[in-house]
Chain A
Amino acid sequence: MILLLVPSVFGQELTADEIIQKVNDQFNTETSYGKSKMTIVTTSGQKRTFLQESWSKDQGEKNLVRYLEPRRVKDQAVLMLNHADDIWMFFPRTQRVRKLATHAKKQKMQGSDFSYEDMGSGDAFIEDFTSKRLEDEQKEEQDCYKLELTRKEEGGSSYSRLIMWIIKENFLPVVIEYYDEKDPTYLLKTMVASDFRVIDGIPTSMKVVMYNQNDNTQTEMELLEVKYNITLTDDMFTERSLKK
């Protein structure tokens, strides 16, 4: 979700740190709401569709995701606080809330090509990686900054390296390549963003596709509805709210 909810800032000649700081700052509006459809194309070519709602507060520090469809996962919910350092999952069938450790971020979200890490923790690009500016390039017909992000020694990411193409006009990442934890030359996944629109004055990519080169699968995330800077109370981001 966070990859889709990106507002805009205009940049001049900037260093890698300044660019990634702007991307990071824009990932996290004060509050946001999104309704999205996730379509997984499996190895056998079948399609699986999930519908979900998500709420975010305090520049992405608090996140709540609730599944609406399919029936199998309806009302399952995930609460992430402290930039996803604290995660709770609610299972409606057993009415249980389970506290998950941060290693759970590596797990695939509902079997998709997005991990929980890909979807949350908006400050990970700065906290977990050092960035280096590469030569600017055209990507997906957009004039882009190109950055290489290398995981810090103490970084908690399960990717060793990211290559990121960022649209100069609005600082939206249009393509991100994710490289293997151990082998920084081994490409695992590629994310491609498209359908850029301005919502509530904020540029937003309405569609993101994650291509998994390793498994030969892909997952499309499409924003159906999005609102920025709405009123959300802290009560929404509690275990009590998770169960509702």
Chain B
Amino acid sequence: MKKSLQLLFVLLLVCGSLAAQEKVEIFGYFESQYLGTNVQSKFYQLFSNKLRLDLKSDLTDNITFAANFDYITYHGKKEWNILDFLSPDIISQVQPGLEPFYVLDFSNRTFLDNAYFRLSLKHFDLTVGKQQISLGTGYVWNPMDVFNIKELVDPTYEQPGHNAIRLDVPVGNAYTITALYSPDDTWKNSAKLIQFKGRISHFDYSLIAIKKVWRFHDYAQFDYEKMNFLELPEQRRLLGASTAGELFGMGVWAEFAYNWMGSTDNFYEWVLGTDYTFDFQTYFMVEYYRNTLGKRDFTQYTLNDWMRVFAAEQKTISRDQVFILIQHPVTDLIHLGLQSIYSISDHSVALVPILNYSFSENIDIMAYLNLNFGKEGTVFSKTMGNGGMLRARLYF
């Protein structure tokens, strides 16, 4: 904590000095969040405060430097026992003595999220350093994106930065070739990506090939040397395609990826979505997602399946799901919405009423309830906890 504060102090001092010389643009936001949920007749509360500091500087006409520094503090219930959310038959798969390790720990964090420079010349852009990598056209799920997993309730939240070297080469005005290398401990284990993006009529499309090590864990076995669950890394090779455009006045998008795995079963994922804005300003979206890594029935869910979803190692636990969003501006400052995520595989559903309030020019307030209606053992079961969140964000 002391080191974090020192780092923050030094950063603010450097930024202030650079900003005074008008070399660096400094901006960002402060976000205060309250999360409350009712789990097994107990009401847990977690408060967090996040300061995100963005720096951006045009060093020359062709070179840009950008970075984000995040400082997050947590208060209230900072350790959540994952077993509290699981059904007895799943808990029975836990080896005796390992129970204390099934914990989500919300410790204060200070980190450099992104830090990169970008060289932009006539024929290419070269971005080197820690950077956001956003792939695919899906709103909630992105089969092509092996780097990130979006939050189900808030898919538009920013994604973490990844260390990478990225080259974007435009070919004419409608086509781009992207090559990306994200280093790991060896060349073989490093992620490599190549993507071609183009346009046909009113449709954008992309074709992608990725090779990356997927660092799964076996949450039933413990590695006492590393004091963590046993890591099971394996090579993943992905071929995918995506498109986005318009059909009969409605927005449509689709995304597909086939994954060849080094030692486990191959699998595929696809997304199909559509949206529309009615004349009375109501916005409607529906997105369907299939992931054959997910299970067809909730009786097939294992401890590993649950833990990999909690640890954001895989996108879903059930095979087929659909996301629905209806949003309406009730006034010029308030949007009310209702999200529903339905697991077709296990027939469970979560309803998420959302309120977005533009409190002032640079302050947004967001609140939602998360209500689960599935039976025990399903992905949106009542044991997952019913609760809500209130978040205020101030931009500066």
Decide: B249 and A42 in contact? CB cutoff 8 A. no
Assess A99 versus B279: contact at CB under 8 Å? Given A48-B361, A111-B358: no
> By the criterion CB–CB under 8 Å, are A71 and B277 in contact?
no
Q: Which B-chain residue is minimally distant from A70 (CB atoms)? A: B361
A95 touches B132 (CB 8 A): yes
CA distance A128 to B329 in the complex (A): 26
Size of interface on B: residues with Cβ below 8 Å to A: 46
**Interface membership of B156, Cβ < 8 A:** yes
Selected from B132, B134, B251, B395, the residue in CB contact (under 8 A) with A101 is B251
Would you call B27 and A74 a contact (CB within 8 A)? yes
Report which of A40, A86, A244 forms a contact with B120, defined as CB distance below 8 A: A244
The majority secondary structure among interface residues of chain B is strand
Measured CB to CB, the closest approach of chain A to B140, in angstroms, equals: 13
A145 within 8 A of B: no
Q: Is B21 an interface residue (CB 8 A)?
A: no
The verdict on A94 contacting B332 (CB below 8 Å), with A70-B395, A99-B244, A99-B245 known, is no
Sorting the interface of chain A by its residue count into under 10, 10 to 19, 20 to 34 or 35 or more gives 35 or more
Contacts of A43 in B (CB 8 A): 331-333
Cβ A103 vs Cβ B250 within 8 A = yes
Interface centre among B131, B275, B279, B395 (most CB of A within 10 A): B279
**CA distance in complex: A102, B333 (Å):** 24
Q: Is B73 an interface residue (CB 8 A)?
A: no
Partner of B281, one of A99, A107, A217, A244: A107
Main SS at interface, chain A: mixed
Answer yes or no: A238 CB below 8 A from chain B CBs: yes
Within 8 A of A (CB), among B283-304: 283
In the complex, chain B residues whose CB is within 8 Å of the CB of A217: 332
Distance in Å: Cβ of B203 to nearest Cβ of chain A = 8
Known A-B contacts A95-B132, A107-B277, A107-B281; A86 and B159 likewise in contact (beta carbons under 8 Å): no
A239 within 8 A of B: yes
Query: Which residue of the partner chain A has the closest CB to B170?
Result: A240
Q: How far is the CA of A42 from the CA of B333 in the complex (A)?
A: 8
Are B251's CB and A49's CB within 8 A?
Answer: no
- Mark A215-244 against chain B: 1 for CB-CB distance below 8 A, else 0: 101000000000000000011011110001
Q: Is B125 an interface residue (CB 8 A)?
A: yes
Given contacts A100-B251, A101-B246, contact A40 B332 (CB under 8 A): yes
Point out the residue from A44, A82, A101 that lies within 8 Å of B333, measured CB to CB. Answer: A44
Cross-chain contact A94 with B137 (CB below 8 angstroms) = no
CB distance from B107 to the nearest CB of A (A): 24
Closest residue of A by beta carbon distance from B68: A93
Q: CA–CA, A71 to B28, complex, Å?
A: 8
Which B residues lie at the A interface, using CB under 8 A?
Answer: 27, 29, 120, 125, 131-132, 134, 137, 156-159, 168, 170, 173-174, 176, 197, 202, 204, 244-246, 249-253, 275-279, 281, 283, 329, 331-333, 358, 360-362, 364, 395-396
Extra A-B contacts (10), CB below 8 Å, given A72-B395, A74-B27, A85-B202? A43-B331, A48-B361, A71-B29, A91-B156, A95-B131, A99-B253, A101-B249, A106-B278, A215-B332, A217-B332
Would you mind naming 7 contact pairs between A and B with Cβ atoms under 8 Å apart?
A42-B333, A48-B361, A70-B395, A72-B361, A82-B202, A94-B157, A104-B251
